[in-house]
Structure 1
Amino acid sequence: MTAGHAVETFLEMLVAERGIAANTLQAYRRDLEDFTDFLTRRKRSADAASTGDIRDYMAGLSRAGMAASTSARRLSALRQFHKFLHAEGFREDNPCTVVDAPRRSRPLPKILSEAEVEKLLDAASALPGPEGARMLALLELLYASGLRVSELVGLPLAAVTRDTGMLIVRGKGGKERMVPLTEAAIRAVAAYREDRDAFLKEGQKSPFLFPSRGESGHLTRHRFAQLLKELAISAGIDHEKVSPHVLRHAFATHLLDHGADLRSVQQMLGHADISTTQIYTHVVEERLRRLVEQHHPLARTGRKG
């Protein structure tokens, strides 16, 4: 069977038996035609492709700079294709069974520089009235503690205690952790408390530090994210870069930049597994690498013998 005929037979099966969408069908066609072109250059047919052919094809995709996620999709198409050929008796084995999928690298988290965080804090400090006091308290708390946004907006009124300087957080799975706060965060929360009633209906009582008149009873994640993007615009920062989670990343990365140990950062972030926290060490390493490449004279000119 020629490679082209094998692909068409497989695609017909996908339409007849699985009813796949036209766009999906075209994606399969493109992926498999690229593979069959590869086989043709090797003078191979689809029913004679070996495991070595598959591995060489995948290695070629990697050398060409194809993203691991796209390569993994290609391999998935090849697996289904060869599974079909084997099931239909067109070949005696499936050469894809022992080929490992490309490892997908975990994307590095987006962060803000310390200077950008300072700009956000300055912009929040300049906001007038109760809205300004609340925004500064939210921002100082988030950057001082690295809270998840759901933890931040849902903080109980008693979570911040001035006498201890610690924040009590109930995180995932109901687990409690204590996070030390900066003096700036403690002061911002104390100032905000004086204006907190502005966010309550007359006579309303609320157990939340950041109450709201809405159904949830407290400031929502969505509303805080909106306010943060508005603040970024006023601070002259690209609002697409800014989100509550990006500030959580900034908290962790800046701590490591200044010598904090990984285990302490893990505890403050509330990560169950330290491997989750280790992604921030990669951010620091990547920043150092770029710093050397951009500013070290030998990195740019090369060393002369």
Structure 2
Amino acid sequence: MSTVEDPIAYFLEDMAYHGRSQRTRDAYERVLRRFEASLDDDPDLGSISHRDCLAWLSELRGDAAESTVASYASYLHRFYAYMNEVGVFDENPMTLVMEELDEQITTDPNRRDISVPEMKAFVKSVGHPLDRALIVLLLKSGIRAGEACNLDLRDVHIPDAPVPAGPIRPQLSGRPNSLFVSQHPQRGDKTNGERRVTSNKRKRDTVIPIDAELRQVLIDWLAIRPDPRSAAEPLFVSTERNWGQRLTGNDIHHLVTSHTRDQGWYESGAGAGENVTPHYFRHFFTTHLRDRTGDRGIVKYLRGDVATDVIDTYTHNWGDRVREVYERNIYSLLDES
């Protein structure tokens, strides 16, 4: 472990070098300094245990909402993960803590509970190729709406798809019927020649299998997809007044909720646990695939929120592990049974 007099200041300075905004750095500093103040008079942040982190988060629960506690935990996790990666700290005590928090994300008793047959009937009611492709993608991959916005054609490897042949991501070479979701696009960044208005939030680049149902709805969409306005060749573009323009997060939210409102699953003013939004689809994916596989690691990998040791285990054995388990367990949304 290298010696750094003020690890928090070191971390914030590196955030500035990486282009993070002053507002973001200020938010991190408030949380990290609050954590530091909760420790002994002369705390050694590099020697903190997971129990110290748990104790602090437990204290917060007395005064803060659970969503605030989760946000603070995320900030602390990113701080320790970065400092461990650059060699300032020997380990990340938040790894175990975050695994426990991940286990709790699907246990809210007030959240709407939609079965696979109910979701299948819902998908069947969606007729437009764009809407159906987006909804099936969100339900079968667990990606966020913002990550769907940032997908380009190079991020999808579907042999014989009805689009002009072009380069694909190197990460997809030799992996047909796969989707690449990057961790890098951030709001304001110029990626693949286009400045992005939505950020990806995953911790690691992820390759996600495309099963037969998702492959078909994507092909149906690509067959009628308007010529995009951007040379980046966005996968999802508008078919309405912004014809050919890359969809935004707000566009996808509106697209999804227009259908879930018709289904009776969305009502203005209702809480997040009751309304079905793109974020609910991520919850649905996590819950049902984890229940079917019993494998937390693969679901965490597909969600893009796993630690380095977990992702290395699975990406080094892609064909025999992730794809095999995914294809054997992913629920059907389009068959007639």
TM-score normalised by length of structure 2: 0.44
Which is richer in helix? 1
**Structure showing greater Rg:** 1
TM-score normalised by length of structure 1: 0.48
